[in-house]
Amino acid sequence: MSLKDLPTDAQPREKLLARGAQALADAELLAILLRTGIVGKGVLQLAQELLDAPAKDGSGGFGGIAGLLQASSADLSRIKGLGPAKCAELIAVMELARRALAQQLRTREAFDSPDAVKQYLQLHLAHKGHEVFAVLFLDSQHRLLALEEMFRGTLTQTSVYPREVVLRALHHHAAAVVLAHNHPSGSVQPSRADEALTQALKNTLALIDVRVLDHIIVAPGQALSMAEQGLI
């Protein structure tokens, strides 16, 4: 069904203007960005298919808004109906979301808003298909100085080099850090290796008076704070 076939008050753009963005479903918001569908497929149908769960063969959708907005340009371009302009718009929206959250963390104490920290890290890490270890470098008032993705692959004490984290902390003149990594498996429960790695980095960074405030584990749709679990 074409959008113009819907009652005016049910069309996504008009519904947003009349009732606010919160009144729209994810597919309706996405349809506003996409604007048009393709021959034989309306924009709402195209939007919903993009949000559907991916198939085992890699086809299908991206498993929700978060998965879609983590998609690369190459991922998006495989979808019939998403040309270069629409791909660019979706990537731009994602980048704006990252920058908005980063601005929040730079202008106030990061731990005044722990949910913003988790959301920021989810936007960066949750939908990566491989494990990534990142560090948020913070100033003395716990405002964000920088986020750096430092290591990839299976994370252990032998694959994450404390010396490199120390060097980057000194480079940024950081007073504290938040460690973070993703679990592509979908579980955010910390492993024994996660706990051992956290303690090793905490001990090493203490030598240069840099505090480890937290280690956050993210996966699609969820995040866990090891500090909140009493593991820091």
* Digit-coded pLDDT (tens) for 143-199: 889 999 998 876 554 478 899 999 999 999 999 999 999 988 888 999 898 999 999
145 plus 189 within the same structural domain = yes
Write down the pLDDT at residue 204. Answer: 96
Is 147 part of any domain? yes
For residues 227 and 214, is the Cβ–Cβ distance under 8 A?
Answer: yes
Per the structure block, which two tokens stand in for 193?
């290796």
pLDDT above 90: residue 106: no
Q: Could you list the residue range(s) of the whole structural domain that residue 28 is in?
A: 3-82
Is 218 part of any domain? yes
Rounded average pLDDT over 76-91 = 85
Is 167 part of any domain? yes
End-to-end CA distance of the chain: 53
pLDDT above 80: residue 113: no
For 98-112, 127-141, 189-203, which range has the lowest pLDDT when averaged over its residues? Answer: 98-112
Alpha carbons 173 and 17: distance in angstroms, whole number: 46
Write down the pLDDT at residue 83. Answer: 86
Is 45 part of any domain? yes
219 plus 116 within the same structural domain = yes
Q: Write the CB contacts of 54 (distance below 8 Å, at least 6 apart in sequence).
A: 60, 61, 62, 63, 67
Is 232 part of any domain? no
Rounded average pLDDT over 65-92 = 82
Tell me which residue of 205, 138, 139 sits closest to 178, measured CA to CA.
138
Write down the pLDDT at residue 58. Answer: 65
For residues 172 and 199, is the Cβ–Cβ distance under 8 A?
Answer: no
Rounded average pLDDT over 96-107 = 77
pTM: 0.68
In the chain, alpha helices (H): 12-19, 26-34, 43-51, 65-70, 73-77, 84-107, 114-125, 162-171, 192-206
Q: Which amino acid is at 60?
A: G
